[in-house]
């Protein structure tokens, strides 16, 4: 695997109102996505939204770190920055199997 990418799992979570369901459809299972470490996250959001079939526009979507070991939701990634420019979040993603 290329050193300039990181493999992550992405999943759609609608956090506008977690108590209201607008669809009877169950969320898709997480997809594997290979993020380039040195390009802005915003460049990849349209493709991620499309693959997840999320009802949002990519400008209304954000990525949030959720280490699988603890299950808690972490911080949101800054879409204007690359993952390599967010070292705390990168270390969490690299530590997650």
Q: What is the pLDDT of residues 34-72, one digit of tens each?
A: 999 999 999 999 999 899 888 878 888 888 888 665 556
Question: Is the predicted pLDDT of residue 79 greater than 60, yes or no?
Answer: yes
Say how far apart CA 97 and CA 94 lie, in whole Å. 8
Q: How many domains does the chain have?
A: 1
What is the sign of the dihedral through the CA atoms of 57, 58, 62 and 68?
positive
Q: Name the residue with higher pLDDT: 74 or 15.
A: 74
Domain hosting residue 52, numbered range: 5-95
φ, ψ (nearest 5 deg) of residue 9: -100, 135
Average pLDDT, integer, range 21-31: 63
Residue 53's pLDDT is: 85
Residue 74's pLDDT is: 81
């Amino acid at each position: 695997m290329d050193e300039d990418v990181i493999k992550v799992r992405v999943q759609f979570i609608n956090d506008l109102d977690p108590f209201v369901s607008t669809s009877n459809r169950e969320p898709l299972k997480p997809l594997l996505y290979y993020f380039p470490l040195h390009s802005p996250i915003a460049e990849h959001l349209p493709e991620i939204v499309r693959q997840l079939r999320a009802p949002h526009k990519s400008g209304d979507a954000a990525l949030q770190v959720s280490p699988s070991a603890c299950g808690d939701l972490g911080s949101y990634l800054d879409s204007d920055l690359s993952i390599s420019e967010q070292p705390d979040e990168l270390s969490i993603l690299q530590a997650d199997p």
